[in-house]
Structures are given as C-alpha cells and as structure tokens.
Structure 1
C-alpha cells in the first residue's frame, strides 16, 4: 500500500492511502502566500451539461425507477433513434438527462439542477456505475481565445461520491488565420 503524507499542527502524520481515502481537512497544511481573484479570467461564454448512462443491456425504465426521474431522452439497444435527418439503430442502451444551457457558463448550477431531482442514495449510484458507463458530459463554448472555467470543490465531491465521470468537451472560438 502506498503512503500519503499529511502534516498537521501536531507534527507529521502519515495516513494509509487507498482508492477511497479522503484526507481530513485538519490534516493538510496549505500555503497562504499566494492569493487570486475568482474573477481573474474571462468566463466561458456558454455551457451545456448532460448526465449520460449507457450500456449494452440498459433498460431506460429501470434507470428511471432507480434514479426517481424521467430522462430527457432514452432508448434501448436495437431501437430506431433519430440521427440528423434520418434514423439509426441504437448500438447500446442510453439514458440521458439534460440541464438548461447556461450563458455565461455555470457548471455548478447545471450540476445542481441535474442532481437535485435524482436519488442521493450512494448505493443506487454504485449499482448503476458497476453495470453501466456513467458520465456528465459538459460542452464548453468559447467566444474569445482565452476563457476559463472553475468548478467548485462541492460539485466535484458530489460527482465523485456518486461515481460520475466528468467529461469536458471544449469548443474554441473561431480563429482568424
């Protein structure tokens, strides 16, 4: 087992590190010599966020019952689904829930919107994550060449506790070449 060292006011302490270890805040020592403003970068112009669950044998009705919320879109493997101007046969089952687009970007509120209507039972989320691919797809759309995004520790912790992978897709502003 690897070690994770953490200093505290009571001297150096070393805690065992496992995949689920979360260090206690009082164990960590942070430097306070550097400060920054939360408004130090231009904000991403627009964001979209979609919770996606996918798998070969995914039954959308089962996911809806487990999470306690109807999806924005769902289908089973083999269903005919709309694709552009036509249709295609779904190669896997899919359940998705979309948040309202945010302009300017606000991933924290979009994640809160998505998760607030769903079960917070970690055991249910673990069951789903063991059986299916689960992610939060975020599309970030820039208007300028240098825009940024910040995601709060609370949002990141919520996603981690529920086993939801964060997937960021960043679309650059049109460049004048």
Structure 2
C-alpha cells in the first residue's frame, strides 16, 4: 500500500499598500514598521525581474497553521490604532488586506464576523484572496 505524505494547509494575511511611492514615506505616514517593502524598479531576487510597483506590507504575526479569520483579526489588531493614517494613504495608493492560502488537504472555508468586517470598514480596505487548491478528492491512490 502506498502512503503519501500530505503537507498541512498553510495560510496567512497581510495589510498591503501598492503603487508608485517610496516605502519609507508610507512608514513615516503610518508610524508602523513594515514586515516587507520594496520600491518600483527594485530587482526581485527570486525572479530577477524589475519590480513594476512599490509595496509596503504588514503581516499577521500568527503561525501559518492559524485560520484565515484569525490572521485577518491579527492584522486588524496591529493596524486599527492607525486607521486615520491608513485611510489617508488609501486616498493616494491602493490599500487592502491580502489573504493567501495553500490548501493541501482540503479547503477549510472562510467567513468573517461582523466585528471583523467593521474593522475592515474602519480602515476602508478591501480583501484580495490568492487561494491555491493543491488537493484532489479523486486522487489516483484513493480507494
């Protein structure tokens, strides 16, 4: 009998600002230190291509095994005290919360309670989802 090793699901979320800007200016306006940032024109070390836009991001502090909902709540905990500044940045640049999920075993579902939605509304940000379904219910090795 063949036993397959299946990776656990991984997911995370981050607040991100994209556009054409100096990331240091976003840090200065927000008063927050980003988890990651780059400038338009910087070289992407993974692809070796020039970046087409600037990005400033604040990631969830939770393990990648935590639920997407918990990741969103953690990003909100870090950023709600800066709501006015985030809305200000959002008038000049694109600001949203990015969700990323690699689903190796199954799709756990995703939903937000009203208080989390209210937090997103206070920041005036939307959500973008990048979900990758890396499993099949009809695998060759299933009985």
Same fold (TM over 0.5): yes
Q: Structure 1 residue aligned with 2:18, among 54, 58, 61?
A: 54
Distance 2:58 2:70 in 1: 15
Q: Is the 8 A contact 1:107 1:151 kept in 2?
A: no
Structure 1 pair 59/114, CA: closer, same or farther in 2 (3 Å)?
same
Distance 1:82 1:137 in 2: 21
**Structure 2: gaps (5+ residues):** 1-7
Q: Which runs of 4+ in 1 moved over 6 A?
A: none
Q: Indicate yes or no: 2:65 matched with 1:72.
A: no
Q: Structure 2 residue aligned with 1:158, among 89, 114, 119?
A: 119
Query: When you count strand as a share of all residues, which structure comes out higher?
Result: 1
For residue 109 of structure 1, what is the aligned residue in structure 2? 70
- The TM-score normalised by the length of structure 2 is 0.75
Q: Is the 8 A contact 2:76 2:120 kept in 1?
A: no
Q: How many residues align?
A: 130
Cα RMSD after superposing both structures: 2.4
**Structure 1: gaps (5+ residues):** 1-43
Larger Cα-atom Rg: 1
CA distances 1:131-170 after superposition (whole Å, capped 9, x unpaired) = 1111111112334455322222111111122011111222
Local SS of the residue matching 1:117: helix
Query: When you count helix as a share of all residues, which structure comes out higher?
Result: 2
